[in-house]
Amino acid sequence: MTCQASNELEQLVLQARPYSSQGKLATYIPALEKANPSHLSVAIFHLDGTCTYAGDYKQRFSLQSISKVLSLAYVLARIGDEEVFQRVGMEPTGDPFNSIAKLETTKPSKPLNPMINAGALVVTSLIPGADLKEQWEDFLDFIRTLTGNPEIAYNKELQESEFSTSYLNRALCFFMKQHGIINGEVEKIMELYTKQCSIEMNCLELAQLGAVFANNGRNPVSGEQIIPVQIARICKTFMVTCGMYNASGEFAMKVGIPAKSGVSGGILGVIPNRCGIGVFSPALDEKGNSLAGWKLLEFMNEKYNFSIF
Ligand code: GLN
């Protein structure tokens, strides 16, 4: 793999960086407050195996909600779409990612989609395995295969910080357990979920993982089909309709690519049949999307014209 610094991207980073001062770090997970709000990094991984990067590209960050696309791909591949979509829907909500509101008003109370917390918790509850250890290790192996880095791991401090403060996510789980949408022990689901959210990587690894989706599930370097074509398609579709929380419509309008963001400030972008993009900048807008990261993608779209629409 050849990765190179790009002057052109560096210029765009320079243009977007000032926006980071308008955003705020997520603080509801205490350990996320330790991030440096002025960080901004980007990498593009092309399907010919080359990649370019700019900004603070070495900086590692946790996936948070970006992991929701990956757990979905994994569970769909392992247990099949019928079982998954019996328990989680396919529609955007227009609500914040951690909202409980629609669970009460939708009958049966299955979450509207797998990109919101309620839906992602259902997906995590479906990760197969004899016990928590096996569930976690097999899932982590999948992430390592996707990034091509066998050292990918989760940040324990961050995981413990979220696990010990996740009252709202526990509430979502208990609500859904009451309604028969999830089975199993809530504490175990929470452990697995907070571990998947705390998986760390840099923008290069995130871009490489995005390139697998861009390449219809096939690793562009090894040629290995890691995710079945149909599942890669389902994931990209959810990224367009629900990937940027309740700002997905505006993002589709302004940038126009499948994308998924996380409250750590990471954004995974996928340009079908072209490249994967990894962006990171931890200061967020009021809906929880990386402010400078979003701006950078807008500038990139103006320059490279990558909207799929
Ligand atoms: N771990 C976070 C949570 O469940 C992920 C949310 C996010 O990135 N939007 O609250």
pLDDT one-digit tens code per residue, 237-293: 999 999 999 999 999 999 999 999 999 999 999 999 999 999 999 999 999 999 999
**CA–centroid distance, residue 235 to ligand 1 (Å):** 18
What residue ranges line ligand 1, CB within 6 angstroms? 64-65, 97-98, 117, 162, 169, 197, 262-263, 288
* 162 labelled binding-site residue: yes
> Domain ranges in the chain?
2-62+200-304, 65-197
Instruction: Give the ranges where the chain is alpha helix by DSSP (H).
Output: 7-16, 67-79, 81-85, 101-105, 117-125, 132-147, 156-163, 167-178, 186-197, 203-214, 229-242, 248-254, 291-304
Separation of 154 CA from ligand 1 center, angstroms?
A: 15
Which ligand 1 atom sits closest to the C-alpha of 66? 8
The best mutation among 197, 200, 248 to test binding of ligand 1, ranked by most ligand atoms within 8 Å of the C-beta, falls on: 197
For residue 245, say whether it is annotated as part of any ligand binding site: yes
Q: Is the pLDDT of residue 108 over 90?
A: no
Q: Which of 2, 152, 125 is nearest to 63 (CA)?
A: 152
* Residue positions annotated with a catalytic role: 65, 68, 193, 245, 263
Over 90: is that where the pLDDT of 13 sits?
A: yes
C-alpha 170 to ligand 1 mean position (Å): 13
Report CA-CA distances (Å) from 106 to 88, 91, 109.
12, 12, 5
Model pLDDT, residue 95: 87
What's residue 106's pLDDT? 86
The atom number, within ligand 1, closest to the CA of 262 reads: 8
pLDDT tens digits, one per residue of 168-211: 999 999 999 999 999 999 999 999 999 999 999 999 999 999 99
Q: What is the pLDDT of residue 101?
A: 85
Pairing of strands 41-46, 275-280: antiparallel
Nearest ligand 1 atom to the CA of 198 is: 1
Q: State yes or no: 53 annotated in a binding site.
A: no
Query: CATH code for 2-62+200-304?
Result: 3.40.710.10
pLDDT at 111 over 90: yes
Q: Whole-model pTM above 0.95?
A: yes
Task: Enumerate residues 6+ apart whose C-beta is below 8 A from 208.
Answer: 1, 45, 51, 146, 147, 148, 276, 278
pLDDT higher than 80, residue 1: no
Fold category of 65-197 in CATH: Probable Glutaminase Ybgj; Chain: A, domain 2 (1.10.1500)
For range 38-56, the mean pLDDT: 97
The larger pLDDT score, comparing residue 94 to residue 118, is at 118
CA–CA separation, 128 and 124 (whole Å): 9
223 CA to middle of ligand 1, Å? 32
